[in-house]
Amino acid sequence: MNSADLHTLTGAYVLHALTPQERTAFERHLAVCPACAMEVRELAATAARLGQAVAVTPPPALKERVLARIATEYQEPPRTALRATAGARRGRVLARFALAACVAAAAGSVGIAVWQHQEASDARAQVRSSQQQAQDLASVLAAPDAKITTGRLKNGGYGTVVVSHQRDQAAFLASALPEPPSGKVYELWYNDGGTMRAAGLLEPSGGSRAALMSGPVGSASGMGITVEPAGGSRQPTSKPLALMNFAT
């Protein structure tokens, strides 16, 4: 395995998807490669944030209800396990983000399966919405035509925009993002030939964020991010933290 191959293993390393031999080789590489070390930290933070986005705190009585239900339910005999294999698309940078988003989307469905309908209907609706957002985000990141642009933000953070023209959608991922000033939010914009079009808000708190940009990509050639009053603005009211052209 050469050094070029090792640079592509950051996502698989974060998600514990390497063989023992690959992990040993990559950790030796990690000790002498600051770029990969930083990327591992950012990917770990992004995966954690995606998992939190669909996490749900179960009601206090959930354990008692589950145990009571188990005592009254007939258990079917075990079925033959089906084996499935997934191709390790380590050569593509996007795979690391897509896998993290898919893991986060699946995680939210585990706890709600045993909830009582009346008691958990509102919570389940919220979880489904979060799951759908994570799945849509994963679809953009895993799109065959997805293109990446990465840049440094003026406030010290890092931004990555992923565009799929086939899906007519874009996603924005940020890391090391400071919290905006009180009463302010981060707002995303499409750049339509110099005219900025609102494309959604990032959550008010800082850190690592992954968001599906609102609206179609259309003819936009790039995107920007600004700091705006709470609730967002129709047009930018501050200088952009970054203007990034879409990769072609």
CB 110: neighbour CB atoms within 10 A?
Answer: 9
Looking at residue 6, what is its pLDDT? 78
Asked whether residue 181 is domain-assigned, the answer is yes
pLDDT above 70 coverage of the chain, percent: 59
Does the pLDDT of residue 199 top 90, yes or no? Answer: yes
Rounded to the nearest integer, the mean pLDDT of the chain is 74
Asked whether residue 70 is domain-assigned, the answer is no
Distance CA 236, CA 85 (A): 47
CB 59: neighbour CB atoms within 10 A?
Answer: 14
* Residue 184, Cβ density class (10 Å: 0-12 exposed, 13-18 middle, ≥19 buried): middle
pTM, full prediction: 0.53
Asked whether residue 80 is domain-assigned, the answer is no
Answer whether 191's CB lies under 8 Å from 233's CB.
Answer: no
- Which residue carries 């990969």 as its tokens? 36
Both 126 and 21 in one domain: the answer is yes
Both 134 and 11 in one domain: the answer is yes
Going by C-alpha positions, the residue among 216, 165, 155, 163 that lies closest to residue 186 is 155
| Helix %, strand %, coil % of the chain (to 5) | 40, 25, 40
Does the pLDDT of residue 181 top 70, yes or no? Answer: yes
pLDDT in tens, 63-119: 666 666 656 655 555 554 444 443 444 444 455 555 555 544 444 444 444 444 444
Distance CA 49, CA 51 (A): 5
Looking at residue 114, what is its pLDDT? 43
Both 132 and 153 in one domain: the answer is no
Cα 165 to chain centroid, rounded: 19
Both 193 and 241 in one domain: the answer is yes
Contacts of 126 (CB under 8 A, 6+ apart): 56
Decide which of 213 and 53 is more confident: 213
Looking at residue 117, what is its pLDDT? 47
pLDDT in tens, 5-62: 777 777 777 766 678 888 888 888 888 888 888 878 877 776 665 555 444 556 666 6
Both 122 and 214 in one domain: the answer is no
3-state secondary structure of 89: coil
State which amino acid sits at residue 237.
T
* Average pLDDT estimate for 210-216: 90
Looking at residue 125, what is its pLDDT? 55
3-state secondary structure of 102: helix
Answer whether 205's CB lies under 8 Å from 168's CB.
Answer: no
Going by C-alpha positions, the residue among 187, 146, 151 that lies closest to residue 170 is 146
Q: Which residues face 242 on adjacent strands? A: 225
Both 165 and 193 in one domain: the answer is yes
Decide which of 163 and 202 is more confident: 163
Distance CA 205, CA 237 (A): 20
Answer whether 203's CB lies under 8 Å from 187's CB.
Answer: no
| Count: domains in the chain | 2
Asked whether residue 79 is domain-assigned, the answer is no
Both 204 and 178 in one domain: the answer is yes
Decide which of 154 and 44 is more confident: 154
Asked whether residue 105 is domain-assigned, the answer is yes
Structural domain range at position 45: 3-64+91-141
Decide which of 187 and 126 is more confident: 187
Both 163 and 205 in one domain: the answer is yes
**What sign does the CA torsion over 42, 150, 228, 222 have?**
negative
